[in-house]
Amino acid sequence: MTPSELLVIVAVIALARAVLSLRPVVAGSSGRSTAIAREFLDPFIVAGLAAWVLISFVARTYYIPSGSMLPTLQIHDVLLVDKFEYRFHAPREGDIVVFPPPVPTPDDFIKRVIGLPGDQLRIDRGVVYLNGIALKEPYTADKPEYSLEVRNYGIYVSYGAGWQRLDSSSANVPPAAQWSAPDRIPPHCYIMLGDNRNDSEDSHIWGFAQDGGRFASGPRAGERAGFTGRAFLIFWPPSQARIL
C-alpha cells in the first residue's frame, strides 16, 4: 500500500467519523450507538495517520516481484526499507537500494550500489574493477556475460562483438559538462547492478541512477530522481528473515 492510498483510507474513516458527530441522537438511545462507533473509529484514524507518517518518512515495506537480485533476494520476499537514513548520508558501496529508475515503470527498482560518484569502474571477463581493484562479490548468482567501462563521458557495454555506448535517448548519461572527469562516475550518479547479473535490468542497460535532482537524459529526462531508501531487513517469509 502506498502512502497516498493509506491517506485516502484514513480520510474516508475521518469523514465517517465527522458524519457520526453531526448525526442527531435518536430519542431514547442516549447516543450510545454513535458513541460506540466513535470509539472504534478514532483509534483507526490515529493509527492510520501514524502509519502514514512512518511509511512516508521513516520506513516502508517492499515486495520483490522479480529474480533480478537472486540469490540475495528471492521472488515474493517482503523487505523493510529505511527511508530516513539517506537524509544524513549518501548511499554506500554494497547497499541494497530501492529507487525510481530512469526508465518508465510504475514501480521502484531494487539493486545493489556498485559504483559511487567519482569512482572509476569497469567490468572485464566477469570481474568488477572499482578504482582498479577487483571486487569480491560472493552475493552474485553468476559472473556477468558482458563487459562495461565508464570512459569518455559515457558508459560503454560489450557483449563480445565490439563496444556500444549507451544512447542518451534511452539511458541516463549526463552530458560531458556535468562530469568531473571523463572516466569517473559523475556527481550524484551511481552504477546500480542486480546480483543476478545476467537477468537484471540495471545500469548496464539504462545508465546511472541519481541521488537527487532530475534525470539528465533518457526517457524520463527532466523527471525527479532520488533514492527511496535502503533495504535493511527481510521479514517475510519467516524462513528468509534476516538483516541485509
Q: Which of 4, 21, 30, 68 is catalytic?
A: 68
Cβ proximity of 151 and 115 under 8 Å:
no
Identify the pLDDT of residue 157: 98
Identify the pLDDT of residue 77: 94
Q: What is the model's pTM? A: 0.78
**Distance from C-alpha of 111 to C-alpha of 134, rounded to nearest angstrom:** 20
Residue 111 annotated among the catalytic residues of the structure:
yes
Q: Which residues contact 102 (CB under 8 A, 6 or more apart)?
A: 171, 172, 206, 207, 208, 209, 210, 215, 217, 218, 219, 220, 225
Q: Which residues contact 182 (CB under 8 A, 6 or more apart)?
A: 151, 152, 153, 176
The predicted model gives 134-139 an average pLDDT of 96
Cβ proximity of 131 and 119 under 8 Å:
yes
Identify the pLDDT of residue 83: 86
Task: Express as a percent the part of the chain with pLDDT over 90.
Answer: 65
Residue 68 annotated among the catalytic residues of the structure:
yes
- Reduced to 3 states (helix: H, G, I; strand: E, B; else coil), residue 11 is helix
**Distance from C-alpha of 50 to C-alpha of 121, rounded to nearest angstrom:** 43
Q: What is the pLDDT of residues 168-196, one digit of tens each?
A: 999 999 999 999 999 999 999 999 999 99
Q: Which of 111, 200, 203, 217 is catalytic?
A: 111
Q: Which residues contact 60 (CB under 8 A, 6 or more apart)?
A: 3, 54, 80, 81, 83, 228, 229
Q: What is the pLDDT of residues 190-211, one digit of tens each?
A: 999 999 999 999 999 999 999 9
Half-sphere exposure of 151 (CA within 13 A, CB side): 10
DSSP 107-133: S-EEEEEEE-TT--EEEETTEEEETTE
Residue 187 one-letter amino acid: P
Identify the pLDDT of residue 27: 46
Q: For cell 548519461, name the residue.
A: 173
**19-29 burial, b if ≥16 CB within 10 A, otherwise e?**
ebeeeeeeeee
Q: How far is CA 193 from the centre of its chain?
A: 12
